[in-house]
Amino acid sequence: MAAVTIDRLMVGGDGVGRLPDGMAVFVPRTAPGDVAEIDVVERRARFARGRLRRLVTGGPGRVAPACRHYVDDRCGGCQLQHVTLETQQEAKRTFVRDALQRIAKRPNVEPQLEPCATGWRYRSKITLAVRGGCAGFHRYDEAGEVFALEDCRIARESLMGLWHRVRAANLPSGTTGIVLREDRDGGLHVVVEGSVAPWTPRTSAVADLSVPISLGTPHN
């Protein structure tokens, strides 16, 4: 166990601080200004990875996540719900600036931020994994595990309404993934991924979907 102060957020959402020996450590679900007790779970030549054990003091941008899946199920679908929208926006602007300065060699660039009108219900496409009959997202710290999705707060309400209808359907055996998408005209689409036979609707939930349904193969 080690006590660290988180300095900033990195691309991917991890907070980064310094271990007592000076090595940089990346810790998911931490925020700038946090003082935290962590367990070091991996050490490499130039950095380490940690797991939050206990928050001693929260940073000024920390908030309680609005989505229960984020906390209860350790959802890996998004990474920054534990910080304010303003902190998220500033972090993303910094990510872009640092990439332009480091990779594009533009040292004086300061990208302007054009924030989304809302911090919620903006995503028009979600991809769900299916494991052992359970459909949802992967856990951020256990990529092989999938939890059952009830509601994704960043997905559009139309997609969640579609998801509740799809979830009630009898999905074909061999399904490994489900893609739900809303196109620019508001049309809804379902893609069932995996080694599946043609899907013949066998329940009213499927018959009443009234959306294009197609079969596909898993994305690599």
pLDDT in tens, the chain (220 residues): 899 999 999 999 999 999 999 999 999 999 999 999 999 999 999 999 999 999 999 999 999 999 999 999 999 999 999 999 999 999 999 999 999 998 988 888 888 888 877 889 999 999 999 998 899 999 999 989 999 999 999 999 999 999 998 888 777 788 899 999 999 999 999 988 887 666 654 444 444 555 655 555 544 4
Count of beta carbons in the 10 Å neighbourhood of residue 37? 14
Please state which of the four CATH numbers 2.40.160.20, 3.90.1150.10, 2.40.50.1070, 1.20.200.10 is assigned to the domain occupying 125-216: 2.40.50.1070
All CATH 2.40.50.140 domain ranges in the chain, comma separated: 2-57
pTM score of the predicted model: 0.83
- Asked if 125 and 184 touch (Cβ cutoff 8 Å), the reply is no
C-alpha to C-alpha distance for 75 and 147, rounded to whole angstroms: 8
User: Cα 133 vs. chain centroid, distance in angstroms?
Assistant: 21
Domain 2-57 has CATH 2.40.50.140: yes
All CATH 2.40.50.1070 domain ranges in the chain, comma separated: 125-216
